[in-house]
Structure 1
Amino acid sequence: ESQERMACAVADGDVEEFMGYAAEENLEATVIAEVTAEPRMRMAWNGVAIVDLSREFLNSNGAPKHQVAHVCARSVWQPSWAGTTLAERMTSLVTDLNVASNKGLSERFDSTIGAATVLMPFGGKTQLTPSSAMVAKFPVDGETTTASAMAWGFNPYLMEADQFAGAYLSVVESIAKLVAAGFEHKRAYLSFQEYFERLRTEAERWGKPMAAVLGALMAQVDLDAGAIGGKDSMSGSFEDEAGELNVPPTLISFAVAVGKAARAVSPEFKGLTHRVVRIAPATYGQDYRPDAQQLLAAFDAVEALTATGDALAVSTPGYGCGAESLFKMCVGNQIGIELAEDVDVESLFTPLYGSFIVELAEDAELPEVADGVVVEPLGTTVEGYVIDTGSEVIELSELQEAWESGIEGVFAYRSAGEAAEVETIDFRAKDIHVYGGAKIARPRVVIPVFPGNNCEYDSVRAFRAAGAEADTFVINNLTPEAVAESTHELARRIRASQIVMIPGGFSGGDEPDGSA
């Protein structure tokens, strides 16, 4: 249950070296057990055996437990956005609280902490198109081309109607978002966040997490992606039974993968007169689950395009279907789209989990796709900021305003920026001094790293780029002796430096009082 503690299995010959690395990073590390061939767990205290249990007993959790679960009949979620014209339906869609811009909420958190961000949370010149995934390089001393990515999948309405399909599609959506961001599905691992109403002893309530776990397990088997972590809670009921409020059945899938930063793709349209295609499994069930083999083949097709750089922008539809994806792809650079003549507009409002909308480079060649994968033209990007169906033209500037206004009354983000005056600084030649051939002293910078600090590597990189010599120094507070030693060493390094820089974060665990 704790984020601060981890258990590591280390080869016997590596223990001493491992403990040394932990001490360097000011991490408490203790050898607590030894793996044995005999299937028993033994614990001793002061030389006296106090626990001696068989592995078989532990596997049973001590005693058999039984609970009757009743999985109720599944129903089908039917998304609906009011209106008779496409413009009316799009307005209804973009003002839906699940689709409306959440930039004001998102920017209450510092999502750009550190200098390793690869994909900004919102892309394009307007910084409005939400990214499919978090992508950042690993925080290391020096330069790396390796990045980690994380995406999530969950539709509460779908989960409420059908826990099995809802959980299955949570997994599909999370992995599809990774693929859309330029990562490979074969390298994905999952972590589940589960949250259900208080189960008590009611069979129908127990049936909901049972169906959800089975759906998530089926998705893992079908897509060959294992869940290696997660957290569950069965206490999402509030007030008394007469007026009880229950959370919807919840299984959120988080997918993570490692890949090359250069392959990262953001979803906003990049240029004009580019072809836009949809790549999707051909077969979907009534519960919106795609055929697993066709889905994997669709993943392969998109990955082939991102590997060669032929995919300039990729989005994968979720709750708001293809219509939401297309709209958000347009707003980042205020580029419109002219839909192909034979596009079924209704398909833009149909859940197609595991499908992809791809903007192709001018000279891109579509990869060969397996049977069961559909590649169809959706349209062409155009200069006019519109969605043009041939029979109806939707002005996206008006749609964008409705979208941005959705929750702005609660989480504002535009007014302050628009009201501020921007001062332009004119750097002329007189401001720049060149010392031809002269040797300039390089100031030394010491960066103490207290428990809870972060961005020390970014700080070092910035100082070095500016011409300084910078080094980090981890403050060790594991023992009183280590504190004294670190204090003396820090004082010595400060005397040998011209600059002391304390990086950001929760220095000293924010004890005793915030940043004091």
Structure 2
Amino acid sequence: QKGLGDRFDHSVGAACVLVPYGGRYQRTPAEASVYQLPTEGKTHTASILAHGYNPAVSAWSPYHGGLLAVVDATARLVACGGNAEAAHYSLQEYFRRMGAEADNWGQPYAALLGAHHALAALGRAAIGGKDSMSGSYHNLHVPPTLIAFAVAPVDVRRVISPEYKDKGHQLYWLRCPQDALGRPDLKAFAANNRFLFEAIGEGNVKSIRAVRHGGILQALYESAIGNGIGVHIDQLEDGFAPEYGGYLISSDGGLGIADNLQHLGFTTDSGKLEINGQSAAIKDLYAIASATLASVYPLYESVGEATRVPLATAKDAQRRPRTVSGIATPRVCLPVFPGTNSELDTARAFR
């Protein structure tokens, strides 16, 4: 999907805090969209916008799909440094044409019931967004869709990105137990969120990545590809098991004591994932993963030094500017219309 994501210009407005793909190689997907608020002066205040939805889970159980959408959106927000207790939510729904069959009408009801279950446990509420019940064409139907969006303010000085930062950092898995129905323990999830919010403020947390459908192994891999930093873990169980509400954390010190906190291993400069006595090069894994959609959304090729266009340099001595007080000061008019952007950063450039 990076080939598609690279077509979005995140630099518009000059307020981006987390680029869509982080790290030296810009490969680790950001957990959420984080942008500073548009102000004429300097500000440390930004907004976090996170989403949650898994079509495979929702097709299997709309109830679980709605519940886990809220949990995933919340976890993504917390992983960026946000406060779950200050989050606000919006739900966007899209379902098949209902018709006269009772089972079809049960899909949106079950999805909303699952979302309400999670929101009530977290002490939050959601506003309704645009919904549609016309996602059918002959015998083709969209999967039951309830996408949860979570937004909260954050100080940019506590924003965390998911890629590993350096070798020698300790890796932790803050787990979230599940009940017999496959639902996260929402009390444990809320406790995890409070623990992380405090740990980030103490300054020991270097990266956080929420665990979801791909399990802890997907989180370990995606956190590694941004900077090519490897990991070493002697023993890992349930690597690919989905676990919504859990977190992968790297730290350059201790994290204190918390329920369900498990030490995994540490980061290395080997460029490999070394887990349970087996190893695989990160670059080889990325080549396999990025080839999946390369024919649909081609990746931008990196420009080598041999083909790089040389920088233009001045060969002649530059004239010193004249200090004449009679030169007029340019005036600039920047029209601002609804739907446009970049007026504030453009004004700063002219000033």
TM-aligned CA deviation for residue 397 of structure 1: 1.3
The aligned counterpart of 1:348 is: 239
CA offsets, 1:139-177, max 9 Å, x none? 111111100011111111111111112211100000000
Return the alpha-carbon distance in structure 1 between the equivalents of residues 260 and 171 of structure 2: 14
Contact 2:213 2:243 in 1 (8 A): no
Alignment of 1:152-191 (within 5 A): 152-191=51-90
The aligned counterpart of 2:136 is: 237
TM-aligned CA deviation for residue 432 of structure 1: 7.0
Alignment of 1:371-382 (within 5 A): 373-382=259-268
In the alignment, which of 354, 361, 366 is matched to residue 255 of structure 2? 366
Return the alpha-carbon distance in structure 1 between the equivalents of residues 141 and 27 of structure 2: 34
The aligned counterpart of 1:456 is: 343
Q: Which structure is higher in RCO with an 8 Å CA cutoff and minimum separation 6? A: 2
The aligned counterpart of 2:282 is: 396
Contact 1:276 1:379 in 2 (8 A): yes
Alignment of 1:227-266 (within 5 A): 227-239=126-138, 244-266=139-161
In the alignment, which of 213, 216, 235 is matched to residue 115 of structure 2? 216
Distance of aligned partners of 1:366 and 1:433 in 2 relative to their CA distance in 1, 3 Å threshold: farther
Secondary structure at 1:397 match in 2? helix
TM-aligned CA deviation for residue 297 of structure 1: 0.6
Q: Which amino acid aligns with 2:245?
A: G
Distance of aligned partners of 1:329 and 1:446 in 2 relative to their CA distance in 1, 3 Å threshold: same
Distance of aligned partners of 1:280 and 1:437 in 2 relative to their CA distance in 1, 3 Å threshold: farther
Alignment of 1:125-204 (within 5 A): 125-204=24-103
Q: Give ranges in structure 1 of 5+ residues lacking alignment.
A: 1-101, 465-516
TM-aligned CA deviation for residue 435 of structure 1: 6.9
Q: Which amino acid aligns with 2:226?
A: G
Q: Which amino acid aligns with 1:454?
A: N
Return the alpha-carbon distance in structure 1 between the equivalents of residues 17 and 101 of structure 2: 47
Q: Which amino acid aligns with 1:124?
A: G
Distance of aligned partners of 1:365 and 1:194 in 2 relative to their CA distance in 1, 3 Å threshold: same
Report sequence identity in percent. 33
In the alignment, which of 288, 293, 298 is matched to residue 407 of structure 1? 293
Contact 1:132 1:177 in 2 (8 A): yes
Q: Which amino acid aligns with 2:185?
A: D
CA RMSD of aligned residues (A): 2.3
Q: Which amino acid aligns with 2:19?
A: M
TM-aligned CA deviation for residue 186 of structure 1: 0.7
Return the alpha-carbon distance in structure 2 between the equivalents of residues 104 and 174 of structure 1: 23
Alignment length (residue pairs): 350
Looking at CA atoms only, which structure, 1 or 2, has the larger radius of gyration? 1
Return the alpha-carbon distance in structure 2 between the equivalents of residues 431 and 257 of structure 1: 52
Distance of aligned partners of 1:110 and 1:338 in 2 relative to their CA distance in 1, 3 Å threshold: same
Contact 1:149 1:258 in 2 (8 A): yes
Distance of aligned partners of 1:432 and 1:463 in 2 relative to their CA distance in 1, 3 Å threshold: farther
TM-score (norm 1): 0.64
The aligned counterpart of 2:196 is: 302
TM-aligned CA deviation for residue 439 of structure 1: 7.5
Return the alpha-carbon distance in structure 2 between the equivalents of residues 435 and 276 of structure 1: 56
